Amino acid sequence: MSDIGFVRADLVPAKPAPNRTSGAMAWAQKNLFATPVDTILTLLGLLFLTWIVPPLFNFFIGHAVGPNGTVEECRAIDAGACWAYIYSEMEFFIYGFYDIPQQWRPNIVFALGAMLFVPLLIPKAPFKRVNAILFLVVYPVVSYFLLAGGVFGLTEIPTEKWGGLLVTLIISVVGITLSFPLGIILALGRQSNLPVIKTLCIAFIELIRAVPLITILFMASIMLPLFMPQGTTVDKFLRALVGVTLFTSAYMAEVVRGGLQAIPRGQYEAGASLGLGYWQRMYFIILPQALKHVIPGIVNNFISLFKDTSLVYIVGMKDLLEAVKTKNDSALEWQSANTATTGYLFAAMVFWVFCFSMSRYSMYMERRLNTGYKR
Amino acid sequence: MTEVSATTQDRATPHMTVSKTNVAIEVIGMHKWYADFHVLRDINLKVMEGERIVIAGPSGSGKSTLIRCINRLEEHQEGQIIVNGTELTADIKRIDEVRREVGMVFQHFNLFPHLTILQNLTLAPIWVRGIPKAEAEATAMHYLERVKIPEQANKFPGQLSGGQQQRVAIARSLCMQPKIMLFDEPTSALDPEMVKEVLEVMISLAEDGMTMICVTHEMGFARQVANRVIFMDQGQIIEQNEPEAFFSNPQHERTKLFLSQILH
């Protein structure tokens, strides 16, 4: 059978892919009206939107009372959101009971934080090392003395007075920056060959993970003083910080451990056979790869920590959500049907903006770090 | 079995001298167990400086485990392993000392995928030997040229072919300027077309007098480069001899069976 034989005379050159149809009509036809069922679903969807969008628009914008509105307008029968209340209470939402003439101090802390933190997030910004040291070492010290005062002629302002967004941000930033390294250490400890370290790490992780955050904060505020000698107290704010940090670090440890398990044994062995020590292997070879695998899980924990800060009301701190809930004298003056709702909406929007930013940034980071596996 | 060109063979032999006095590796009465399974049994092996040893044997015979014991990627339970005069014990300092002087090339390359080729090569010299970055990079480029891929220095391992990756892995070990090189089936995971380029690098290393132990199924390589072939089965050294005698006149029944299976 000679027709089995074949020898190619010319190699086939690559040619461009066929053109795809484009344009709004083509898109709509493909995605919205491809089949009768699709068409019905599209129409139902449109119907739903016409039903839900106008009332929402009216509440948020159409009938809403703008920043310069009055209480009376907010109390009108068909009034929407009472933004005027948010505007007039903004200082309380941001600083809590922090003394009004001293509010420049948190402002400096906010500004410094932004100046140091934003360049850290931009990969191309120079002086990363100096920047990181300033942000992680110098900034917390400066911020503490600025906020708490009691030195350099600054009035002392006890942490009980701190509140609002200030507290939410401090707990989140401190919690995130401390729980991340702590979680890595715990994860490495859990994989350690040394039985004592391994047992301690497992015990810590399993204990903390099995208890709700509320319970930990509650223990910190009610139980801790019972064990302490008479007359000594630990600042409530500090207790909340420690509680949130330890809680998150236990979760972080398990996420990081997941990443460590994804690294093939050959990577550890290649590092070892080159004579790299344990910490060098971890720092240069294992962790950069492991952490990259678990960025979504890590950011998940950061976001959940950010939202969990609202639980510090348990120890009597007034974070953003608690500040919105607080009925102080000026809040009572703004009493109307929609005031509380508007307050909660505002808190929700602030939380959403922060959490969504974290989420977007992590997606950007994932894309950027993907280079190593490029084929 | 890839045959390497005759010209390389002619070049190879004259330079390869074995020291009569200096012992590189000495394994004495060594046993190893994985839990209850006795993987290595009464291993006795003396490797002089400049020796090129090929270890062959069926899979599961303990050949890889043996060379992994030599840089303590695996722990032995009985007997002694002495490398460059340092006995391997649980002492981390001694283990690191041995690992600095013993390079290892793995079946699956094990390059660091998140680092560029150049970073792969300079990491250990910089952080283990404390060599300045510029100097380490110069050395790295020297060895990349030696394995004939200097143009890949700034790529990532995932962008290279298997043969190129394995050559980078060899260069990475060489950058530490080791006294001994261990090869754990370096060509088994490669496409057939790429085996030769890796073997050529290994041959040129042998020419330079490097002490080498290779676990491999490349019998052509063994014939040409090795001064001793060791045959293992069931965790034991069954037979060892010079390649010529080993291949033409095997003594043990198991060796004969093995050779008849692989040399078709």
CATH number of the domain bearing residue A331: 1.10.3720.10
In the chain, the amino acid numbered A306 is F
pTM of the model: 0.83
> Which residue out of B123, B133, B177, B180 would a mutagenesis test of the A interface target, given it has the greatest number of A Cβ atoms within 10 Å?
B123
pLDDT band per the 50, 70, 90 thresholds, residue A81: confident
CB atoms B96 and A266 under 8 Å = no
Q: Which of A309, A202, A307 is nearest to A254 (CA)?
A: A202
* pLDDT confidence of residue A2: 64
**CA nearest to A373 within chain B:** B158
Residue A91 lies in a domain: no
One domain for residues A118 and A195: no
The 10s digit of each residue's pLDDT in B182-197 is 999 999 989 888 899 9
**Number of domains comprising chain A:** 2
Residues of B whose CB is below 8 A from A365: none
Confidence check: pLDDT of B11 > 50:
no
Confidence check: pLDDT of A372 > 60: no
Q: Smallest CA–CA separation between A71 and chain B, in Å? A: 60
Q: Which residue among B113, B128, B158 sits closest to A275, beta carbon to beta carbon?
A: B128
pLDDT, residue A264, reads 93
**pLDDT for B12 beyond 50:** no
Smallest Cα–Cα separation from B83: which of B47, B54, B53? Answer: B47
Min Cα–Cα distance to chain B from A180, Å: 21
Residues pairing with B82 in the sheet = B26, B87
Interval A79-108 mean pLDDT? 81
Does a structural domain hold residue A338? yes
The rounded distance, in Å, linking the Cα atoms of A200 and A253 is 13
Q: Cβ atoms within 10 A of the Cβ of B5, count?
A: 11
Estimate to the nearest angstrom the gap between the alpha carbon of A133 and the chain centroid.
22
Question: Between B104, B106, B158, which is nearest A374 by CB?
Answer: B158
Quote ipTM for the complex.
0.88
Instruction: Tell me: do A297 and A354 sit in the same domain.
Output: yes
Same domain, A152 and A164: no
Q: Do B99 and A289 touch (CB under 8 A)?
A: no
Largest Cα–Cα separation, chain A: 103
Give Rg (Cα) of chain B.
18
The pLDDT tens digits of the residues spanning B215-243 come to: 998 898 999 899 999 999 999 999 999 99
Calculate how close chain A gets to B215, using CA atoms only, in Å: 16
A180 and A301 both lie in a single domain:
yes
**Model confidence at A375: pLDDT above 50:** no
Residues A106 and A223 in one domain: no
Give the gap in angstroms from C-alpha B212 to the nearest C-alpha of chain A.
15
Q: Both A139 and A182 in a single domain?
A: no
Between CA A277 and CA B173 the distance in angstroms is 16
Same domain, A150 and A166: no
- Whether residues A152 and A174 fall in one domain: no
CA nearest A270 in B: which residue? B110
Kindly state whether A375 is in contact with chain B, defined as any CB-CB distance less than 8 angstroms.
yes
Give the chain A residue whose CA is nearest to the CA of B113. A372
Q: How far apart are CA B105 and CA A270, in angstroms?
A: 8
Q: Does the pLDDT value for residue A229 go beyond 80?
A: no
Q: Do B128 and A274 touch (CB under 8 A)?
A: yes
Residue of A193, A267, A269, A274 to mutate when probing chain B, most B C-beta within 10 A: A274
What's the domain range around A137?
101-157
By three-state DSSP, how is residue B226 classified? coil
What's the token pair of residue B46?
């003396």
Query: Are the Cβ atoms of A273 and B103 closer than 8 angstroms?
Result: yes
Q: Which of A157, A172, A201 is the last residue of a domain?
A: A157
Structure letter (DSSP) for residue A154: P
pLDDT of residue A117: 85
